[in-house]
């Protein structure tokens, strides 16, 4: 199969859909891989690395879309790409169709085979192509929190781990899923005193089994949240209710209970945020202050660390890319129930219920 990897043209997206190691695995199986010139540069991969792995470099995005049977990328196509996508071409990427009717209509019109990373689903209901990005965001939330706790950027001026003779900072984590566990691992590793809250007892038992003694698990309730916010230095929001907007666990009136310079990192911002005062921010302007509480709520945290994020993402997408390249989409989806869940729009027809429902459209 001919596989094309374009440069990501969405604002501030520095990741790339395939690493040289992925190219190597595909060319070794006699597939042809075409990489757009400089596509990997911001993730730390040079054109020469791709050439050495067996890829052909093409100058323009038009050439990539024109030659490829399958496009492998990171973010959803944006307007200038719509007209480049061909009928019957496989496009394997994050789409998030339910948040854009324009994109949905454009992909219906293209008659392409749209397979969305975010809906590939394992038998236990987990979403394997989303997990690495939550891992990145969870770990990064502590790094960012530690930075914004510094006094010159309006934080409380406390070192997360303390020093001998001086107590560490207190970190409150809401949600003990992928984001929460990774945040707890980082914060506890730095020596902070960590409290992690969830409503799922299985998740709390897991915390209690695997985390060090400076991580305390507790049931999530308004009472417990109110108790902890008064003396927490860093609060991290990592809750998710699948398919729904995040519950507002910290309301506006609760901010005045906190100490000035407390930092709140809302990783769940992409589902509306779990703090009432959350609004999406960017890497250019990541924070704002309300009632002397510092808010960090960047919606695409992994974009700031493209080297790690690209490798994390392509580690999990590559096995599916290989299946699609070897077998074609029909056979690959027949053989893999997880991949079949990724089919969203096929040759002009919506085949994923939630997308049809989101826009009151017909299902195939």
Ligand X SMILES: NC(=O)c1ccc[n+]([C@@H]2O[C@H](COP(=O)([O-])OP(=O)(O)OC[C@H]3O[C@@H](n4cnc5c(N)ncnc54)[C@H](O)[C@@H]3O)[C@@H](O)[C@H]2O)c1
Please list the active-site residues.
96, 270
In the complex, the smallest distance separating the C-beta of residue 217 from ligand X, rounded to whole angstroms, is 11
Interface mask (CB under 6 A) for ligand X, residues 123-142, using x and -? ----------xx--x-----
Query: In this structure, what token pair is assigned to residue 325?
Result: 């390249």
Distance CA 228, CA 214 (A): 15
Nearest CB to ligand X, comparing residues 8 and 270: 270
Q: Does residue number 198 form part of the binding site for ligand X (CB under 6 A)? A: yes
* Residue 42 to residue 171: CA distance in whole angstroms: 33
- The verdict on 313 binding ligand X (CB under 6 A) reads no
**Closest to 87 (Cα-Cα) out of 72, 59, 109:** 109
- Whether 129 and 117 have beta carbons less than 8 Å apart is answered as yes
Q: C-beta of 142: minimal distance to ligand X in Å?
A: 14
- Is residue 339 exposed (0-12), middle (13-18) or buried (19+ Cβ within 10 Å)? buried
Is residue 99 at the binding interface for ligand X, with CB under 6 A as the rule? no
113 touches 57 (CB < 8 A): no
Residue 38 annotated as binding?
Answer: no
d(CA 309, CA 306): 5
Residue 270 in the binding site for ligand X (CB under 6 A): yes
The answer to whether 282 and 12 are in contact (CB under 8 A) is: yes
Q: Are 286 and 296 in contact (CB under 8 A)?
A: yes
Give the C-alpha separation, 127 to 73, whole Å.
18
> Is there binding between residue 174 and ligand X (CB under 6 A)?
yes
The tokens describing 258, both together, are 């906190």
Q: Which is nearer to ligand X, 72 or 137 (CB)?
A: 137
In the complex, the smallest distance separating the C-beta of residue 136 from ligand X, rounded to whole angstroms, is: 7
269 binds ligand X (CB under 6 A): yes
- Return the residue of 108, 197, 305, 356 that touches ligand X, per CB under 6 A: 197
Q: 67 a known binding residue?
A: no
- What is the pattern of x (binds ligand X, CB under 6 A) and - over residues 223-252? ---------------xxxx-----x-x---
Tokens of 59: 């100058």
Name which of 64 and 133 has its Cβ closer to ligand X: 133
* Per-residue tokens: 1: 């199969």
| Alpha helix segments (H runs only) across the chain | 20-27, 47-52, 61-67, 79-82, 101-110, 131-148, 178-189, 201-210, 222-229, 306-335, 337-340, 353-358
Question: Does the annotation place 220 within a ligand binding site?
Answer: yes
List the structure tokens of 96.
Answer: 């998030």
The whole-angstrom separation of Cα 321 and Cα 357 is: 28
105 versus 271: smaller Cβ distance to ligand X: 271
Q: Is 134 annotated as a binding residue?
A: yes
Assess 254 for contact with ligand X (CB under 6 A). no
Candidates 179, 190, 255, 343; binder of ligand X (CB under 6 A) is 179
CB-based contact 113:331 (threshold 8 Å): no
Q: Does the annotation flag 298 for ligand binding?
A: yes
- State yes or no: 198 annotated in a binding site: yes
293 annotated binding-site participant: no
User: According to CB under 6 A, which one of 64, 70, 112, 267 is a site residue for ligand X?
Assistant: 267
Q: How far is the CB of 271 from ligand X (least distance, A)?
A: 4
- Site size with ligand X, rule: CB under 6 A: 31
Specify whether the CB–CB gap between 141 and 161 falls below 8 A: no
Q: Is 239 marked within a binding site?
A: yes
- As measured in angstroms, the least distance from the Cβ of 68 to ligand X is 28
What is the separation, in whole angstroms, between the first and last Cα of the chain? 27
Q: Stretches 56-64, 92-100, 195-203, 335-343: which one binds ligand X (CB under 6 A)?
A: 195-203
User: Which residues are documented as binding site for NAD(+)?
Assistant: 134, 198, 220, 239-240, 267-270, 298-301
- Where does this chain bind ligand X (CB under 6 A)? 133-134, 137, 174-180, 197-200, 203, 220, 238-241, 247, 249, 267-271, 299-302
Binding residue numbers: 15, 75, 134, 198, 220, 239-240, 267-270, 298-301
Annotated binding site for substrate: 15, 75
């Amino acid at each position: 199969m001919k596989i094309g990897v374009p440069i990501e043209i969405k604002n501030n997206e520095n990741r790339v859909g395939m690493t040289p190691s992925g190219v190597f695995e595909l060319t070794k199986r006699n597939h042809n891989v075409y990489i757009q010139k400089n596509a990997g540069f911001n993730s730390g991969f040079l054109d020469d690395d791709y050439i050495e792995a067996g890829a052909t470099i093409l100058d323009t995005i038009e050439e990539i879309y024109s030659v490829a049977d399958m496009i492998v990328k990171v973010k959803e196509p944006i307007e200038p790409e719509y007209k480049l996508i061909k009928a019957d071409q496989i496009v394997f990427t994050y789409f998030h169709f339910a948040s854009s009717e324009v994109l949905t209509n454009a992909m219906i019109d293209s008659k392409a085979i749209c397979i969305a990373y975010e809906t590939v689903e394992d038998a236990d209901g987990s979403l394997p192509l989303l997990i690495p990005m939550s891992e990145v965001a969870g770990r990064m939330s502590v790094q960012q929190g530690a930075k914004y706790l510094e006094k010159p950027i309006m934080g409380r001026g406390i070192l997360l781990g303390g020093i001998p003779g001086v107590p560490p900072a207190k970190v409150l984590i809401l949600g003990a899923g992928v984001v929460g566990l990774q945040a707890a691992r980082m914060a506890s590793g730095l020596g902070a005193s960590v409290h992690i809250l969830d409503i799922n007892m299985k998740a709390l038992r897991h915390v209690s089994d695997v985390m060090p003694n400076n991580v305390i698990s507790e049931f999530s309730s308004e009472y417990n949240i109110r108790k902890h916010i008064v003396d927490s230095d860093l609060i991290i929001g990592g809750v998710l209710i699948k398919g729904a907007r995040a519950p507002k666990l910290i309301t506006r009136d609760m901010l005045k209970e906190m100490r000035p310079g407390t930092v709140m990192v809302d990783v769940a911002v992409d589902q509306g945020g779990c703090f009432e005062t959350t609004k999406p921010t960017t890497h250019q302007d990541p924070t704002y202050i309300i009632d002397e509480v510092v808010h960090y709520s960047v919606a695409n945290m992994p974009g700031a660390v493209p080297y790690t994020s690209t490798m994390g993402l392509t580690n999990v997408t590559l096995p599916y890319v290989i299946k699609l390249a070897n077998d074609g989409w029909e056979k690959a989806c027949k053989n893999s129930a997880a991949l079949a869940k990724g089919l969203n729009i096929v040759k002009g027809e919506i085949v994923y219920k939630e997308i049809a429902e989101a826009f009151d459209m017909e299902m195939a």
